[in-house]
Amino acid sequence: MQVDEKTVRRIARLARIKVTDAEAKALEGELSGILDWVKQLDEVDTRNVEPMTRVTPMTLKQRADVVTDGGIADDIVANAPAREDHFFVVPKVVE
Amino acid sequence: MTELTKLTLADAREGLRRKQFSSTELARAFLAAIEAGNKALNAYVLATPERALAQAKLSDARLAKGDARPLEGLAVGIKDLYCTKGVRTTAGSNILDNFTPTYESTVTQNLWDAGAVMLGKLNCDEFAMGSSNETSCFGPVSSPWRRKGSNVALVPGGSSGGSSAAVAAELCLAATATDTGGSIRQPAAITGTVGIKPTYGRCSRWGIVAFASSLDQAGPIAKTVRDAAIMLRHMASVDPKDSTSVEAPVPDYEAAVGQSIKGLKVGVPKEYRIDGSPKEIEDLWQQGIAWLKAAGASVHEVSLPHTKFALPAYYIVAPAECSSNLARYDGVRYGLRKPGHDLIDTYEATRAAGFGAEVRRRVLIGTYVLSAGYYDAYYIKAQQVRALILRDFTEAFEKVDVLLTPTTPGPAFGIGEVSGDPIQMYLNDIFTVTANMAGVPGISVPAGLSSEGTPLGLQLIGRPFDEATLFRAGQVIEDAAGRFAVPERWWA
């Protein structure tokens, strides 16, 4: 077992996903199984191998630092589950 | 009018130009087929008849004026991972709820600019995570194919299962799809259709719901190699909105279809011969080798020594990138919200309710491998292995022009047959995931039927940006194998 229930709860908290007790128990086995399986990568000698950063040999593109879009506040809030005018409405975060 | 749905994309193009039928007639034939068959197949999650008929009307006007664009009036389906302006886009997930984009993905915009007509949005695994289309919030898609003498519902593959099923069942001329670990090629293989994942950077990712950004690529699923070539030419482009879009003109892929492969050097990677592989997969592979030889190619054994590590490395890289990409679903800016007692609780409740089990599992794996203390052991290690996988391909392509492999380890399985252990499902991508890890293009072409009477495919993998060779060699396989139509239209 690579991950115990406590670890499941810690990563679920980091990932901002609520898990029930039953789910945490099941995930313990599922996540451990996957992590045990990927551990076979330890067989590969990767000393002096540069980790891949991109698949095609290209330098990242740059563009002029100018405004190319904007004035679309209506569009941006159009799909918000709760909004007021051009604001997203969220639960109170500051007392 | 049902006969119109049987046409290939190329034949429909010809028929429209010769005025044998109109784009409106074509669209109506497909809309009727969707109406009649989709209940049983569940390939479309949203049909867009009004939009299809409006586009078809415009196409008919242009065709009448002799002003036809390359895909004028041709009816296609769009995987529900592509954002379509004003048309609900869900990625197969409850968390996107009734998300209705206010913008259009570059690939679909390219298709509309070329004159194509949209029939609707196609089912897919949730956020394209799956190999069977069973993780969709809209439920599984049934393949139009069934085993001989059986009415057990089979999967159409995944994640582009709606796309493969719709093309195989003739509910569209062709469809868009996406491929992160095999999600175009595996569904194409097991439904008797053609699917190509182009080189990373060939199609813009802009406006396609992100899963694993260093692996995701758009591509078509179509009835024939020629149709796939036509589709890809008009999906691909150089896009300033995607920084990984490659600055290279899009070739006329269709011109490669039908060209000779005399003198082509075909590599057969020995590591793709796996223990316990069914004999019919090996036989299919040998048959493919014989076909290519008969057409004048030479065949050479090659070695890609890191092949077996591609899938485990993928299951570090892809979940890591997905956990990062899916952080945006916070219940604030769009999609579902489940109110909690404070902001964090709202996030946690929303994401628990909105994500399905497989997506949650991958987000958690990704969060774990990226967390403090584990990043080097998992993520950096996987990216090092990935560099070695790319090196394998680069060295192989110094000796040969193209690689031939099976697409899948077996034929379509039944809905619900592969469940319980997630790794069993992941193994579907064992032959396809390598091309994503290395960024190279791969095509699956129907090559035969299994002992169960269901389709099997062969995969050709090419050098970066050499899709033309895949279409050229793919056509040779199609010519030799013939096409595979579903024997019985049980769904309509």
Are A25 and A5 contacting, i.e. CB atoms less than 8 angstroms apart? Answer: yes
Distance from CA of B203 to the nearest CA of A (A): 14
Does B490 contact chain A (CB < 8 Å)?
no
Q: Does B310 touch chain A (CB under 8 A)?
A: no
Q: How far apart, in whole angstroms, are the C-alpha atoms of residue A64 and residue A67?
A: 9
Are the beta carbons of B201 and A16 separated by less than 8 Å?
no
* pLDDT tens sequence across B267-324: 999 999 988 889 999 999 999 999 999 999 999 999 999 999 999 999 999 999 999 9
On whether the CB atoms of residues B148 and B396 are closer than 8 A, the answer is no
Residue B462 pairs in a beta bridge with B402
Q: Is B159 a catalytic residue?
A: yes
Residues 30-89, chain B: which have Cβ within 8 Å of A? none
Mean of pLDDT values over B451-475: 98
Residue of chain A whose alpha carbon sits nearest to that of B102: A75
User: Distance between CA A69 and CA B243 in Å, rounded?
Assistant: 17
Instruction: Return the number of other C-beta atoms located less than 10 Å from residue B85's C-beta.
Output: 16
- Summarised one tens digit per residue, pLDDT across range B162-218 is 999 999 999 999 999 999 999 999 999 999 999 999 999 999 999 999 999 999 999
Amino acid at B176: T
* Residue A83, beta-bridge partner list: A88
A80–B343 CB contact, under 8 Å: no
Q: What is the ipTM of this complex?
A: 0.95
How big is the CA angle at B362 (ends B356 and B367), to the nearest 5 degrees?
Answer: 125
Residues of B with Cβ-Cβ distance to A1 under 8 angstroms: none
pLDDT for res B42: 98
**Cβ partners under 8 Å of residue A1, min gap 6:** A28, A29, A32
Return d(Cα B431, Cα B307) in angstroms, integer.
9
- Selection from B217, B212, B209, B423 nearest residue B320 by Cα: B212
Please give the Cα distance from B83 to B101 (Å, whole number). 6
What pLDDT sits at residue B142?
A: 98
Tell me the nearest-neighbour CA distance from A82 into chain B, angstroms: 7
Mean pLDDT throughout B15-19? 97
Per-residue pLDDT reduced to its tens digit, A47-66: 999 999 888 777 888 889 99
Residue B357 sits at φ, ψ, to 5 deg, of: -60, -45
Tell me the shortest Cα–Cα distance from A69 to chain B, in angstroms. 12
**3-state helix/strand/coil string of chain B:** CHHHHHCCHHHHHHHHHCCCCCHHHHHHHHHHHHHHHHHHHCCEEEECHHHHHHHHHHHHHHHHHCCCCCCCCCEEEEECCECECCECCCCCCHHHCCCCCCCCCHHHHHHHHCCCEEEEEECCCHHHCCCCCCCCCCCCCCCCCCCCCCCCCECCCCCCHHHHHHHHCCCCCEEEEEECCCCCHHHHHHHCCEEEECCCCCCCCCCECCCCCCCCEEEEEECCHHHHHHHHHHHCCCCCCCCCCCCCCCCCHHHHCCCCCCCCEEEEEHHHCCCCCCHHHHHHHHHHHHHHHHCCCEEEEECCCCHHHHHHHHHHHHHHHHHHHHHHCCCCCCCCCCCCCCHHHHHHHHHHHHCCHHHHHHHHHHHHHHCCCCHHHHHHHHHHHHHHHHHHHHHHHHHCCEEEEECCCCCCCECCCCCCCHHHHHHHHCCCHHHHHHCCCEEEEEEEECCCCCEEEEEEEECCCCHHHHHHHHHHHHHHHCCCCCCCCCCC
| Residue ranges covered by each domain of chain B | 2-261
Q: What is the mean pLDDT of residues B342-363?
A: 97
What percentage of chain B has pLDDT greater than the value 70?
100
- What the block records as the tokens of B338 is 């489940």
Q: Is A49 on the interface with B (CB under 8 A)?
A: yes
Q: Minimal Cα distance from A45: which residue of B? A: B385
Of B176, B219, B212, whose CA–CA distance to B196 is shortest? B219
To the nearest whole angstrom, how far is the Cα of B12 from the nearest Cα of chain A? Answer: 36
- Residue B37 pLDDT: 97
How far apart are the CA of B38 and the nearest CA of chain A, in angstroms?
28
pLDDT tens profile B228-269 = 999 999 999 999 999 999 999 999 999 999 999 999 999 999
Whether residue B1 is predicted with pLDDT greater than 70 in this model: the reply is no
How many CB atoms are closer than 10 A to CB B99?
18
* Alpha carbons A34 and A16: distance in angstroms, whole number: 21
Residue count of chain A, please give it: 95
pLDDT given at position A43: 97
Mean pLDDT for B458-482 is 98
B293 in active site:
no
User: Which residues of chain A neighbour B86 with C-beta distances below 8 Å?
Assistant: none
Distance of CA B204 to the CA centre of its chain: 15
In angstroms and rounded to an integer, the radius of gyration of the C-alpha atoms of chain B is 21
Q: Which of B97, B102, B368 is facing A31, going by the closest CB pair?
A: B368
How far off is chain B from A15, nearest CA to CA, in Å?
6
Contact B339 A80 (CB under 8 A): no
In the DSSP assignment, the letter for residue A78 is: T
Sheet holding B75-79, edge to edge: B44-47, B117-122, B75-79, B174-179, B217-222, B194-197, B442-449, B455-462, B402-406, B265-269, B298-302
pLDDT at residue number A1: 59
Cis ω for the linkage preceding B159 (within 30 of 0): yes
CATH class of B2-261: alpha beta
Annotation: CATH topology of A5-43:
Histone, subunit A (1.10.20)
Contacts of B205 in chain A (CB under 8 A): none
The CA-based angle B434-B440-B444, given to 5 degrees, is 75
The residue annotated as part of the active site, out of B59, B142, B164, B183, is B183
> What number is the average pLDDT over the span B382-390?
97
CB contact under 8 A, B348 and A79: no
What rounded mean pLDDT belongs to chain B?
97
B79 is an active site residue: yes
Facing B333 at nearest CB: one of A11, A63, A88: A88
Contact call for B342 and A91, based on CB within 8 A? yes
Cross-chain Cβ contact B335/A81 below 8 Å: yes
Q: What gap in Å lies between CA B302 and CA B244, rounded to an integer?
A: 30
Residue B482: Cβ within 10 Å count: 10
Nearest to A14 among B201, B247, B371 (CB): B371
Q: Flag if A81 and B336 touch (Cβ within 8 Å).
A: yes
What amino acid occupies position B259?
Q
Q: Touching check for A22 and chain B: CB below 8 Å?
A: no
Q: Which amino acid is at B97?
A: D
Interchain proximity B244–A52, CB inside 8 Å:
no
Contacts of B334 (CB under 8 A, 6+ apart): A79, A80, A81, B96, B97, B99
Report CA dihedral (B380, B384, B389, B393) to the nearest 10 degrees: 130
Asked if B363 lies within 8 A of A15 by C-beta distance, the reply is yes
